[in-house]
Amino acid sequence: MATEETNSFRKNMPRIIIAIVLLAGAFYGFQSYRYNQKFETTDNAQIEGNSAPVLARVAGYVQQVNVADYATVKKGQVLATIDPQEYDVALQQAEADYQSTLADLQTARAELANAQANLRNVQAGLKVAQTNADVQAIRRDKARNDLNRDQNLYKEQSLTQKQLEDSRNNAHVQASQYQATVEQVAQARTTQGVAQAAIQRAQANIQKVEALLKVKQAAIENAKLRVGYAQITAPIEGKIGRKNVVVGQYVQPGQNLMTIVADSTFWVVANFKETQLEKMKIGQPVNIKLDAYPNLDIKGKVVSLSEATGARFALLPPDNASGNFVKITQRVPVKIEIQNPQNYKEQLRAGLSTEVAVQVGN
């Protein structure tokens, strides 16, 4: 009897196994169907992060390198130093030029003060000369009137010949003195014009030197900047990637010496097929799995969807107007914010591959 039951069980074993496999497959298929109704998944996703290149701003030989590969740095920390000797010399030269120009400015101001004082003296002399001319004009007119009177008196024989000659000589002297004072007034006015022109030249010279002084001051500031640029500092806080600089190397302005990756801000960019976007919305929760740390449970949420497919950002975007068009399912980048990224600071790395599942249903 037992033998018959054993033979019967063996005979039905394949059917039982097939039934179990079918049931397991059906259960798995049902679970997958339910999961796919609730989640949109993709493994075309990577961790992204902010990074900043560290560039040389002046040319020269690298004197010091103060960091190692993958070291953590603070913002403003000195990473490397370029030999600043030639920039120090340029700064000293700029400062010397500034002092020389400053001395020229003081000289120009002194010349202006002298010209202004000279003008005041000339104006005072002109005033005196004009007063003398007015006095001489009165004396000349009086002498002429006296001569006319004496001539009439002489005709009437009321005056001697000598008195008439004295009156005539006095009139001539007064006319000569008046003419001399008129010439003095004209000369004083000419001198005044020369003094005024000297003042204008001095003022123009001051403006020129002041403008040049500003240029020299700007040259000093520029030289100070270049001296400061000899010290290369970290633009952000983070970790150093691969270094491209060693001591003794000659670097050029704009040359990339190293890259700093910010270790405090990370997010995920997942490329979903266009057929997966129908139910996807901003704010939906996301499950994130890192290939490097599969047991790490990371949560996130959708924060934005790209306005264009990834192909649109390619160097040579596809031209669908061509005659050999083949329809290809496009992918759309979706940005996912990582919740509580500080909890995964030691595990997150820019560029790590991830699998994401966006919950699009209940």
- Single out the residue in 228, 249, 274 at which a domain terminates: 228
96, part of any domain: yes
23, part of any domain: no
Residues 297 and 210 in one domain: no
Residues 164 and 263 in one domain: no
80, part of any domain: no
CATH code, 126:
1.10.287.620
Residues 110 and 211 in one domain: yes
Residues 130 and 213 in one domain: yes
Instruction: Report CA-CA distances (Å) from 1 to 4, 6, 7.
Output: 5, 9, 10
Q: For residue 2, give the amino acid letter.
A: A
Give bridge partners of residue 305 from the DSSP assignment. Answer: 334
Task: Give the model's pLDDT for residue 153.
Answer: 76
Residues 195 and 315 in one domain: no
Residues 267 and 342 in one domain: yes
Task: Give the model's pLDDT for residue 46.
Answer: 94
Task: Give the model's pLDDT for residue 10.
Answer: 66
Residues 181 and 245 in one domain: no
Range of the structural domain that residue 93 is part of: 85-228
Q: What is the pLDDT along the chain (362 residues), one digit of tens a residue?
A: 456 566 665 666 777 777 778 777 776 776 666 766 788 899 999 999 888 999 999 999 999 999 988 888 999 999 999 999 999 999 999 999 999 999 988 988 888 888 888 878 888 887 887 888 788 788 888 878 877 887 777 777 777 777 778 778 887 887 888 788 888 878 878 888 888 888 888 888 889 999 999 999 999 999 999 999 999 999 998 888 878 899 999 999 999 999 998 877 889 999 999 988 888 999 999 999 999 998 898 999 999 998 888 777 776 676 666 656 677 888 999 999 999 888 888 888 888 999 999 998 77
Task: Give the model's pLDDT for residue 228.
Answer: 93
CATH code, 276:
2.40.30.170
- Single out the residue in 228, 256, 285 at which a domain terminates: 228
Residues 273 and 326 in one domain: yes
Residues 101 and 201 in one domain: yes
Task: Give the model's pLDDT for residue 14.
Answer: 74
343, part of any domain: yes
Chain Cα centroid distance, residue 164: 93
Q: Kind of pairing, strands 256-273 and 298-305? A: unpaired
Taking a C-beta distance cutoff of 8 angstroms, is the pair 33, 216 a contact? no
Taking a C-beta distance cutoff of 8 angstroms, is the pair 119, 196 a contact? yes
What tokens does 141 get? 């007119």
Taking a C-beta distance cutoff of 8 angstroms, is the pair 38, 362 a contact? yes
Sequence-distant (≥ 6) Cβ neighbours of residue 327 within 8 angstroms? none
Residues 202 and 249 in one domain: no
- Altogether, the residues listed in the chain come to a count of 362
What tokens does 263 get? 């270790």
133, part of any domain: yes
- Single out the residue in 206, 228, 250 at which a domain terminates: 228
Residues 190 and 312 in one domain: no
Does this model's pTM top 0.75? My answer is no
Residues 92 and 144 in one domain: yes
34, part of any domain: no
Taking a C-beta distance cutoff of 8 angstroms, is the pair 66, 243 a contact? no
7, part of any domain: no
For the chain, how many structural domains are there in total? Answer: 2
91, part of any domain: yes
